[in-house]
Amino acid sequence: MSASCSRTPSTASTASTAHAADQAIEKDENVHFEKAWADPESGTVYCLSEAPSADAVRRIHERAGHPAEEVHEVPFSV
């Protein structure tokens, strides 16, 4: 599991559009974006995904036009 974060001006509409762009090409890297959250005041967008690596998540975000500033691999859940 990976969590990614980017900081760009965001509204509910732009965050939704960005999430859809990720989902449109996620299979190319065997990534599945499960959910995204956005804070319009700070411009921070968080994504939760299943992926083979943090690099795969980075590549999808970059190709979709909104590179992630941070990607953290999460080794397990509780």
Q: Domains plus CATH for the chain?
A: 2-73 (3.30.70.3090)
Which pLDDT tens digit goes with each residue over 16-64? 888 899 999 999 999 999 988 888 888 888 889 999 999 999 999 999 9
65: left (phi over 0), alpha (psi -120 to 50) or beta: left
| pTM beyond cutoff 0.95 | no
What are phi and psi for residue 15, nearest 5 degrees? -65, -40
Please give the backbone phi and psi of residue 48, each rounded to the nearest 5 degrees, phi first: -110, 130
- Is the CB of residue 1 less than 8 Å from the CB of residue 49? yes
